[in-house]
């Protein structure tokens, strides 16, 4: 899985937040590798938070490194 965080804004409605939580505590456990691209400080905090709930291998890439993130996630 590759996730790019760009111009992130807080949720516009509660339904979107519920859908993310459902994915985070449900389907995410089936993902073996997750690459996160964007603001490294924010992503580092986020990956530490979700790290306690999953065994997914995570890696953080700087903004604009989608190709490198995809190569890592697919390896």
> What does DSSP assign to residue 39?
-
Distance CA 40, CA 5 (A): 10
The closest of 36, 37, 67, 68 to 50, measured between CA atoms, is 36
pLDDT band at 70 (very low <50, low <70, confident <90, very high): very high
- Give the tens place of pLDDT for each residue, 41-68: 778 877 777 777 778 888 989 999 999 9
The residue written with tokens 């190569």 in the block is 71
The residue written with tokens 């456990």 in the block is 29
- Give the tens place of pLDDT for each residue, 19-39: 767 766 676 677 889 899 987
Q: Is residue 58 within 8 Å of residue 47, measured between CB atoms?
A: yes
């Amino acid at each position: 899985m590759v996730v790019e965080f760009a111009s992130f804004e807080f949720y516009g409605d509660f339904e979107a937040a519920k859908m993310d939580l459902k994915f985070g505590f449900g389907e995410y456990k089936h993902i073996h590798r997750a690459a996160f691209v964007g603001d490294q400080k924010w992503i580092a905090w986020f990956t530490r938070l979700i790290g306690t709930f999953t065994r997914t291998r995570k890696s953080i890439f700087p903004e604009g490194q989608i190709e490198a993130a995809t190569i890592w996630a697919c390896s």
